[in-house]
Every structure is written in C-alpha cells, then in structure tokens.
C-alpha cells in the first residue's frame, strides 16, 4: 500500500543549522497494516510523515502509494490518497466553519471543487449518524462553529474527516499528544474503532511506548533519521515495554533517554 | 454652520458611501475571508475608473466599459496572486508591488494624471447629478443599492458552493485545506481576483459619479475599506451573524464613514487632515480586539473534557 524507497531529506542544507532529518529511509506497508512509530525527539518520525504527505519535496528517493508514484505530486493532490490528523488540534479543522461544513469539505477530498452546493441536504443525516458513533454529542451541533469545540472533540472530528472518504493511507502524527490522558485514551479508542471498521492502512506516531505496543500489528522505532527497529506479527503481540527498551539498547548501543516515552 | 448645508450633503454621502461599500465588500473578501490585507486595491480603484472612463470616451457603452473595468481589476488581482503564490512574496508586499506598478499603468491608460467625463455628453449609469430631481429608478442611490443587493446575493451563493467553501477553508486554516485536497494557491489567486474585480467595479462607478478619474483617487482606499468593515462590525456585529448580513454590515459601515466625514467637513475641520483622521480611527479600531484580549480578558473556562 505504501512504499518508501531510499528517502533522504536535509533541512537548511549548507548552513550552520543543517539537519539531516531522513537518511536513506525505506519502508513497505502491506494492505491493512496498522503501524505505530516511536522514537525520541528529532528522530525523523514527523519528517517521514510529512514526506509522505508532500508538505515539501524530498531530496532523494521514491514514494509510492497504492501503486502510484507520488514523489512529484504536490500536497493537495496527494491528499486524494491520504487521511491526516495532526498533533495540534487546531490544525486539522477550520475553526470559523461549522461542523457539517468541515465534514463536507472532507467528503470532497480528491474531487475538483465546483459551483455545486458546498453541502447537500441529504449529507446531513449521514453526518449525524457518523458523529453519533463518537459519543460526544456532536450530532446535535451540526452547525456549531468548530472553534467552540474542545481539543479532544476537534481531534475526534478530524479523525472522522480524515476517514470520511476512505483513504489509502491514514497518517496520525502524535494526534493524542496535546490531549489530557483521559481524552487521549478516548481518541485512541475511536482511532482503533475506525481503523478496524474500515480496515485502514495506518501509520501512527506516538510518544507513548505503551500505546505503541497496545495498538496496531507492527511497530517501528526511528532514531537519527533511520528506522532502527521493525517488529511485527507474533513478536509484536507479545512485546512489552521492557523488551522494547532492551532491543533499543541492543540496536543503538545507548540508553533510551526519554522519560516521556517511558512514562508518557 | 447651517444645519441645512449638512442635510443637503447627506444624499451625496449616502451615494458615495454605497459606492465605497462595493469596494468594502471586495476588501472584506481578502481581509476577513482570506486573512490578507490586500494593498493592491489602492491601485485597482483607479484602474477601474480609468478603464471605464477611457472606454466611454472612445464611444463604448457604459455596461461594456464597466465590464472591462472589472476584468482589468481581476488582472491586477491575478498579478498580486501570482507574486504571492508563484513567486513566494509575502502578501502585503505583493500588493504593494502591484499597486506601484499600477500607478504607471493607470497613467498609461489615461495618458495623463486625470481624465474627465461630462455627464451631459455621456450616458452615465451613476452621477452626483442623478441624486436629486431624477426619477426613482434613475437615482444613483437606488442603482448602486440594487447593484449591492445583487452582489451580496451572488457572493452569498458563491461562498456556499464547493469552490467558495474551499476559499473560506484556505483563509481559515491552509494546512487543513491542503490536507483536504484544496489547492490553496489557486484559492488565494481566485479570491484576490474576485476582490479586485469588485474594487474595480467600485472604481468605475466612482469615476462616473464624480465625473473624472484621477491618478490619486485610490490613495488610502484600503484604509477606507477596512474602516467600513470594522465600523460595520462594531455597530452591527451583534445582530449580523449571517455571511450575507456581514457583507451588508460592511456597506452600512461605509455609509456611516461618509456620514461622519460630512459632519467633520460641516464642522469646518481642515480637510487636509481627513486622511490622518481616517488612519487614526482605523488604527484604534484594529487595536481594540487586541487590547481587549491583552488587558481586559477574563479567564475563560473551556468546555468539556473530551
């Protein structure tokens, strides 16, 4: 479903701030894979997701989604294949527009925007039904401005928007990191529900090792612009935090330093 | 200070306020929907007037002249849009560059710094002579008001379409817009073209109304447009929630602006100081929301745990 071939990306090349963010990253995701991504700050997790999403062009390498080479496609064209949820709840929705208007924008992802009505009457019923699956009471607030919603509500809505038109690949960039633990757990639950329901191929970055182990069928760890661990199948099912830390030390030869990743 | 002088000046103030109201609608599209202060409009206003008057002088029909003026304005918007998106120049600077370039273009269109058009010799749509002692349907105030109602209806419809919604999403959150497959560069260019087309339309009407186009007629136009928007929001913000009414609010704000201007003139204040006054008023009104947030904010509890 997704294939990254030898991706390189360097920021601020040739300056004192030069940062080689991705160094020869290759990754293949099978159809229906739910992959969790962990790694410390600056490991290249978000950079990898942004490379896939096309936020900027990569320096070298090839990105193939669902058999289509998208390496040269601009961000808004790749969006037809992708669903995205960001770390900052403010980023995924349009605050000054209503809940239904946001959903209507998402329903038209990948289509050309014409002079037809931005939202049709019969869409509303479908939105209501969908919103009610979140259990947040949003189904009664279709016309409320999204800016009035809490961070957790906005992330749940963004999840719905990202998956309203079934994406070839769902990209979750630490989408629960800005939420309180209770809300984060609820949004993760919703994530599992949607991913399982639609059998979505998913890449989920998290700071939390426990979450990375509990969710998905495959786990990759990044460090210093490389993928250093790739655990799947039975091994992934039996994985514990201690296993993961030991493996990390074996592979990298250093202690895992981030308390946040341990305790998060 | 005869009060009748002021009363007599008021219909003119309404007519001017309405014409500038069209321009305020254009500024609303860039300033409020796209979140860009588009400096192009200072040049586009004159472009609209210059194109319209030169075409009419050469014997063209008033409607065709105004239509071409609108297209010319849209080209100016296209230029600013390309400078901003294709060439990566910040929006404000893109507008300033286009505006500066338009100064020369406007001079070339007119051949000199100003061009007059005689209301007795040409069949004008609007004029300051058509305010009193003409039939209702020929009255400039009626005609401009009708144009505005039509514009607001069309814009209300447009910003409810898929394309219009994508423009609004771009202005609100361009990261989200791109993630939803919206070409935000295209949205920006289109909105700038739309806005400058409207401003050129206002310019073409203003030129007819005052009977001439002048190279300096657009100076500070953006400030008047912003003033109209924020006066409208300050006065009608609580009652006008609907998008169409918000546009109407900008038009009414523009009328209020010209009312106040007439009163200031009537009071005998040095008219050289008017632009300074406008600048101060707009600066203060723009600062109010900032001050409110910074110095008078009460801690607000955000709802819900979810």
The tokens for A102 are 């946001």
How many beta carbons lie within 10 A of that of residue B223, not counting itself? 17
Q: What tens digit of pLDDT does each residue of B105-126 get?
A: 999 999 999 999 999 999 999 9
What is the C-alpha to C-alpha distance for residues B94 and B88, in angstroms, rounded to an integer? 9
Average pLDDT for B9-18? 93
Q: What is the pLDDT of residue A218?
A: 95
Beta bridge partners, A173, equal A205
Q: What is the pLDDT of residue A264?
A: 43
Q: Which domain holds residue A206?
A: 33-54+74-263
Residue B49 and residue B201 in contact, taking contact as beta carbons nearer than 8 Å: no
A117's CB contacts (< 8 A; 6+ apart) are: B160, B161, B162
How many beta carbons lie within 10 A of that of residue B196, not counting itself? 36
Q: What is the pLDDT of residue B297?
A: 67
Closest to B162 (Cβ–Cβ): which among A114, A161, A186?
Answer: A114
Residue B301 pLDDT > 70? no
Question: What residues in B contact A182, CB-CB < 8 Å?
Answer: 305
Average pLDDT for B23-36? 96
Task: Report the greatest alpha carbon distance in chain A.
Answer: 59
State which residues of chain A have pLDDT below 70. Answer: 254-264
DSSP string over A52-102: HHTSS--SEEEEEETTEE-TTS-HHHHTTTEEEE-SSTTTSS-TTSBHHHH
Average pLDDT for B59-87? 97
A87 inside 8 A of chain B by CB: no
How many domains are there within chain A?
A: 1
| pLDDT band per the 50, 70, 90 thresholds, residue B305 | very low
> Which sign, positive or negative, has the C-alpha torsion B25, B30, B33, B37?
negative
What is the C-alpha to C-alpha distance for residues B180 and B120, in angstroms, rounded to an integer? 55
Average pLDDT for B174-188? 96
Where on the phi/psi map is residue A225: left (φ > 0), alpha (ψ -120 to 50), or beta?
A: left
What is the C-alpha to C-alpha distance for residues A159 and A111, in angstroms, rounded to an integer? 19
What are the φ and ψ backbone dihedral angles of B120, each rounded to 5 degrees?
-80, -25
Rg of chain B in Å (alpha carbons) = 20
- Flag whether A26 is in a domain: no
Q: What is the pLDDT of residue B43?
A: 97
Angle CA(B278)–CA(B282)–CA(B284) in degrees, nearest 5?
120
> Which sign, positive or negative, has the C-alpha torsion B74, B76, B78, B84?
negative
Average pLDDT for B237-241? 88
Q: Do B181 and A108 touch (CB under 8 A)?
A: yes
What is the C-alpha to C-alpha distance for residues B117 and B130, in angstroms, rounded to an integer? 15
Residue B171 and residue B34 in contact, taking contact as beta carbons nearer than 8 Å: yes
Beta bridge partners, A34, equal A202
Q: Do A152 and B305 touch (CB under 8 A)?
A: yes
How many beta carbons lie within 10 A of that of residue A132, not counting itself? 13
A156 inside 8 A of chain B by CB: yes
Q: Which carries the bigger pLDDT value, residue B29 or residue B298?
A: B29
Question: What residues in A contact B241, CB-CB < 8 Å?
Answer: none
The tokens for A204 are 């989920």
What is the C-alpha to C-alpha distance for residues B207 and A93, in angstroms, rounded to an integer? 43
What is the C-alpha to C-alpha distance for residues A205 and A212, in angstroms, rounded to an integer? 8
Q: What tens digit of pLDDT does each residue of A43-83 get?
A: 999 999 999 999 999 999 999 999 999 999 999 999 999 99
Alpha helices in B135-242 (DSSP H): 140-158, 162-172, 174-179, 184-210, 221-236
Q: What is the ipTM of this complex?
A: 0.91
CATH at residue A154: 3.40.50.300
CA distances (Å), origin A163, targets A114, A156, A172, A197? 22, 11, 11, 11
The tokens for B305 are 């745990």
Q: Do A53 and B179 touch (CB under 8 A)?
A: yes
Question: What residues in A contact B306, CB-CB < 8 Å?
Answer: 136, 150, 152-153, 156, 183, 186
B172's CB contacts (< 8 A; 6+ apart) are: A94, A95, A96, A97, B35
Q: What is the pLDDT of residue B298?
A: 61
- Flag whether A10 is in a domain: no
* pLDDT, mean over chain B: 93
Nearest residue in chain B measured CA to CA from A149: B303
What is the C-alpha to C-alpha distance for residues B117 and B205, in angstroms, rounded to an integer? 12
- Flag whether A188 is in a domain: yes
Per-residue b/e over B241-271, b at no fewer than 16 CB within 10 Å? eebbebbbbbbbbbbbbbbbbbeebbeeeee
Per-residue b/e over B55-64, b at no fewer than 16 CB within 10 Å? bbbeeeebee
End-to-end CA separation in angstroms for chain A: 31
Nearest residue in chain B measured CA to CA from A153: B306
Q: What is the pLDDT of residue B306?
A: 46
Question: What residues in B contact A49, CB-CB < 8 Å?
Answer: none
């Amino acid at each position: 479903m997704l294939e990254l071939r030898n991706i390189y990306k360097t920021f601020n090349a040739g300056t004192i701030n030069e940062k080689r963010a991705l160094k020869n990253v290759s990754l293949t995701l099978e159809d229906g894979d739910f992959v969790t991504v962990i790694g410390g700050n600056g490991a290249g997790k978000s950079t990898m997701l942004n490379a896939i999403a096309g936020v900027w062009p990569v320096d070298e390498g090839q990105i193939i989604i669902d058999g289509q080479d998208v390496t040269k496609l601009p961000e808004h064209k790749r969006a037809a294949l992708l669903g995205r949820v960001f770390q900052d709840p403010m980023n995924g929705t349009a605050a000054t527009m209503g809940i239904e208007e946001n959903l209507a924008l998402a329903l038209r992802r990948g289509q050309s925007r014409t002079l037809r009505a931005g939202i049709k009457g019969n869409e509303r019923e479908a939105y209501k039904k969908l919103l009610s699956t979140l259990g947040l009471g949003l189904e009664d607030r279709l016309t409320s401005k999204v800016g009035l919603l809490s961070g957790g509500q906005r992330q749940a809505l963004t999840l719905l928007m990202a998956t309203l038109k079934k994406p070839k690949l769902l990209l979750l960039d630490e989408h629960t990191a800005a939420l309180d633990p209770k809300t984060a757990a609820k949004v993760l639950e919703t994530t599992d529900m949607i991913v399982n329901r639609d059998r979505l191929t998913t890449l989920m970055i998290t700071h939390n090792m426990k979450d990375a182990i509990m969710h998905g069928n495959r786990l990759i760890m990044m460090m210093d612009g490389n993928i250093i661990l790739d655990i799947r199948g039975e091994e992934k099912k039996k994985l514990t935090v201690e296993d993961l830390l030991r493996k990390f030390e074996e592979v990298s030869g250093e202690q895992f330093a981030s308390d946040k990743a341990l305790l998060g | 200070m005869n009060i009748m002088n002021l009363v007599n000046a008021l219909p003119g103030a309404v007519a001017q306020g309405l014409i500038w109201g069209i321009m305020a609608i254009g500024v609303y599209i860039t300033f409020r929907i796209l979140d860009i202060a588009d400096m192009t409009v200072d040049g586009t206003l004159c472009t609209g007037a210059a194109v319209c008057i030169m075409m009419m002088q050469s014997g063209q029909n008033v409607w065709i002249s105004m239509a071409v003026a609108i297209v010319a304005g849209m080209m100016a918007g296209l230029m600013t849009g390309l400078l901003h998106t294709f060439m990566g120049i910040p929006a404000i600077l893109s507008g300033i560059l286009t505006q500066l370039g338009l100064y020369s273009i406007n001079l070339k269109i007119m051949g000199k710094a100003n061009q007059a058009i005689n209301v007795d010799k040409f069949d004008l749509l609007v004029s300051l002579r058509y305010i009193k002692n003409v039939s209702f349907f020929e009255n400039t105030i009626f005609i401009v008001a009708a144009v505005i109602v039509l514009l607001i209806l069309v814009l209300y419809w447009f910003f409810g379409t898929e394309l219009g919604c994508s423009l609004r999403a771009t202005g609100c959150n361009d990261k989200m817009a791109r993630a939803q497959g919206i070409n935000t560069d295209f949205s920006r260019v289109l909105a700038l073209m739309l806005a400058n087309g409207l401003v050129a339309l206002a310019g073409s009407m203003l030129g007819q109304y005052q009977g001439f186009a002048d190279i300096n007629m657009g100076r500070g136009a953006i400030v008047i447009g912003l003033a109209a928007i924020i006066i409208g929001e300050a006065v009608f913000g609580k009652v006008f929630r609907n998008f169409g009414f918000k546009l109407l609010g900008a038009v009414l704000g523009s009328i209020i602006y010209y009312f106040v201007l007439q009163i200031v003139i009537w009071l005998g204040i040095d008219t050289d100081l008017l632009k300074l006054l406008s600048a101060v008023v707009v600066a203060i009104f723009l600062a109010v929301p900032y001050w409110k947030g910074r110095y008078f904010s009460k801690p607000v509890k955000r709802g819900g745990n979810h």
